[in-house]
Structure formats: structure tokens, C-alpha cells
Amino acid sequence: MNWRYKALLQTSIARMPMSDHIYYLVQRSIGQLKKGQFDPQEWIVAAAEMLEWLQRGGHSIAGKRFLEVGTGQALGIPLILWLCGAEQTVTVDVNRYLSATLVKESNEYFVRNADKIHQIYKAYDDGGFRSRLSKLSAFSGDLATFLDLIHVDYHSPADATQLRFPEHSFDFHYSYSVFEHVPPLIIAAILKEARRVLRPRGVLFHTIDLSDHFFYGDDSITRINFLRFSDKQWHRWAGNKYMYHNRLRVAEHLKLFETAGVSLERESRAVDERSLEALKNGFPLYSGFQSARPEELAVTALQVMGHFPDLRSDDVVQAHSNSHAIEWKHLK
């Protein structure tokens, strides 16, 4: 679909009563969630990358607690974390988009492809992967029962800048394709709250998609198409709740982590060659982006892993070791 038509459709739906329900039905009929075409493969790849980074960094996930910022419509990564031995994932979202239907379809995908999925995550198997897969195969129940099965605590609407969990509650703080949809001041506040809720030696892992998301439905444009517009023009096209994009480039995202006090252990950037070629051949940039080098503007994916150095002092570690255990079931 031409991106302009999609933008107009999203803007129109966002203004309607029961807009979220209507938008979901549109996605299921003609969009990326079309019945019979929903594919959790993206989350499978993303989770494998995250686990590989954590393992290489010496971070074990077995028996650990994760905080996910931005649940979305299904539970791809939290499900994988449970399969690999994580104790619990608490997932928060400002919008209650989680779909019981999509969770069911995702579970069915995992059951159908059990051998393939186990092979992908074999290196992260704590010894119970196959047993947990068997539980997925035998499962029949509602969404609440499924969340209990895979040790997921879902909170929505929830504000990731002001969580009601005690200090030092989580071992990992992560998001997947979320920060690009969040205003920079809110990202800063989310990272500040991450510092509060992470345990000593806790780790942040965030994957950020810096590309124009309209590209995924219209490959006639480049991944940097939105850089041609002023803020006012872009707001007219994508200022609705379904397509807001902050358009921050890689240096601006990294500055947010630096300002928050995050020490990066590892960083990865992906440059889109088609976008880079367009930039070198006169792609019409809005003046606000013209001072950046083409190689920076063409970065369309960023992954970062880091920690807060001041959370690793002996005093904080000792304070945490003396703290009481948290009964997670009663935090809902």
C-alpha cells in the first residue's frame, strides 16, 4: 500500500471512537496481522540476538527477572525468555494492545516448529527447554492462564517512567523496536527509572529501529524517506498514535544513554546501503538533518547493551543481598 494512503487511514482511524479495536480489525484483514500470515519469526531472531549478546557479555538469564518496555500485541520475546529459563518477565505498555488471539497463534507457531526453535536456542538451554515446550503443546486455557504458565506479569496501561516496583527489582531492562516511538524526554525518564529498578550488575539491552516504518508496507520509498519532511509536515503524516516516530538519529539516541549514565558494553549499527546511496545522490533532506553525515543518517538499526556503573559498588551489592525477596504474583 502506498505509504500516503496508509498514513491517511491511520490518522482517520485514530480519531474514531473505539479506534484501537477498529485498527486491530483492519490489521487482521489487510495489514501485517492478516489472518494466516502472522509470523513470530521477527521476535525469534531478535531474542536470539539479545541472548547471544548477553551470553558473550557473561550475563546468564537462568533464574533472572526481566523488565520489558513496550509489550505490543503478542508475547514473542517473553515466551522465549521463559523457554530459556528466565524466572519472570514483567512487561509494561502505555497502551493495552496485547491480543489473546495473537498470543494463541504465536504459541501454535512455537508448537509447530518446536524442533527448529530448540535448535536456535540450544546454546541457551538451561536443561528445561524441551520440558517447557511440552507444556506449550499441552496448554489449553485463556490468556491469564497462559501468562501464569510462562511467568509473565502484564501491566497496561503502565508508565515506564514511574513504575510501582521496589528498587533493584530486575536483572535486565530491555525493549525491542520501541524507543523510536517515544519522545526523547520520555526516553530519558525511562532510562532514569531503569536505573532505579535494576539490580546491582543489572543490564540494559535495547534494539531501536531508526527507519521510516512506512517502508515496511511500501518499498517504493527508502528507509529514510521521513527525513525529507519538516517536523510540522511529518506530524501531519504520522502524528497519530499508531505511527508516531521521533526520527532521532543514532548519535541522538546514544546521547540519551550517555546522559542517563549508562556505560555501554557493546553497540551495533546497521547502515542501509540503499538509503546511503540515495543520500549521496541528492536525496532531498529537511534542513534539520542536513548537518549530519550521510553515513550517520543511513543508520537504520541500533542495538545497545550496557549498565549503570554506580550500581556496581560494593555498598549497593551488599544492600541488595540483604533485601527481602519480592512476591511477584501480588504486584499485578
Q: How does pLDDT run across 205-226, given as a tens digit for each residue? A: 999 999 999 999 999 999 999 9
What average pLDDT does the segment 86-97 reach?
Answer: 96
Q: Would you state the cell numbers that stand for residue 42, as one nine-digit string?
A: 521477527
Q: Specify whether the CB–CB gap between 202 and 308 falls below 8 A.
A: yes
Residue 235 lies in a domain: no
Residue 41 lies in a domain: no
Domain residues for the domain of 197 are 159-210+248-321
Q: Specify whether the CB–CB gap between 95 and 186 falls below 8 A.
A: no
| Structure confidence by residue, pLDDT tens digits, 252-282 | 999 999 999 999 999 999 999 999 999 999 9
Residue 38 lies in a domain: no
Task: Provide the number of structural domains found in the chain.
Answer: 2
Please check whether residues 146 and 171 belong to one and the same domain: no
Q: Where residue 317 sits, what CATH number does that domain have? A: 3.40.50.150
* pLDDT score of 320 more than 50: no
Please check whether residues 183 and 302 belong to one and the same domain: yes
Q: Specify whether the CB–CB gap between 6 and 83 falls below 8 A.
A: no
Q: What is the pLDDT of residue 313?
A: 58
Residue 150 lies in a domain: yes
Compute the distance between CA of residue 86 and CA of residue 143 in angstroms, rounded to an integer: 20
Q: What is the pLDDT of residue 208?
A: 98
Please check whether residues 63 and 172 belong to one and the same domain: no
Looking at 155, 170, 201, the residue that finishes a domain is 155
Please check whether residues 165 and 306 belong to one and the same domain: yes
Closest CA to 81 of 57, 62, 102: 62
Split at pLDDT 50, 70, 90, the class of 331 is very low
Q: Which residue has the cell 502484564?
A: 154
Say which range, 35-49, 123-137, 294-308, has the weakest mean pLDDT. 35-49
Please check whether residues 203 and 106 belong to one and the same domain: no
Please check whether residues 150 and 168 belong to one and the same domain: no
Q: What is the pLDDT of residue 30?
A: 81
| Structure confidence by residue, pLDDT tens digits, 3-20 | 999 999 999 999 999 999
Please check whether residues 310 and 181 belong to one and the same domain: yes
* pLDDT score of 240 more than 80: yes
Compute the distance between CA of residue 58 and CA of residue 52 in angstroms, rounded to an integer: 10
Higher pLDDT, 327 or 257: 257
Please check whether residues 254 and 282 belong to one and the same domain: yes
Q: How far is CA 215 from the centre of its chain?
A: 19
Compute the distance between CA of residue 48 and CA of residue 81 in angstroms, rounded to an integer: 10
Compute the 3-state secondary structure of the chain and give helix, strand, coil in percent, each to the nearest 5.
Answer: 50, 15, 35
* pLDDT score of 153 more than 80: yes
The DSSP line for 276-305 is HHHHHTT----GGGTTS-HHHHTEEEEEEE
Looking at 92, 120, 155, the residue that finishes a domain is 155
Per-position b or e across 210-227, b if 16+ CB within 10 A of its CB: bbbbbbeeeeebbbbbbb
What average pLDDT does the segment 161-182 reach?
Answer: 97
Looking at 136, 155, 174, the residue that finishes a domain is 155
Instruction: Quote the DSSP letter at residue 216.
Output: G
Q: What is the pLDDT of residue 228?
A: 97
Split at pLDDT 50, 70, 90, the class of 319 is very low
Please check whether residues 259 and 148 belong to one and the same domain: no
The HSE-up count of residue 304 (CA atoms within 13 Å, CB side) is 23
Compute the distance between CA of residue 293 and CA of residue 313 in angstroms, rounded to an integer: 39
Please check whether residues 66 and 114 belong to one and the same domain: yes
Residue 96 lies in a domain: yes
Q: What is the pLDDT of residue 326?
A: 34
Residue 82 lies in a domain: yes
Please check whether residues 151 and 163 belong to one and the same domain: no
The pLDDT mean for the chain works out to: 91
Please check whether residues 163 and 149 belong to one and the same domain: no
Residue 311 lies in a domain: yes
* pLDDT score of 311 more than 90: no
* pLDDT score of 118 more than 80: yes
Residue 32 lies in a domain: no
Say which range, 29-33, 51-55, 133-137, 172-176, has the weakest mean pLDDT. 29-33
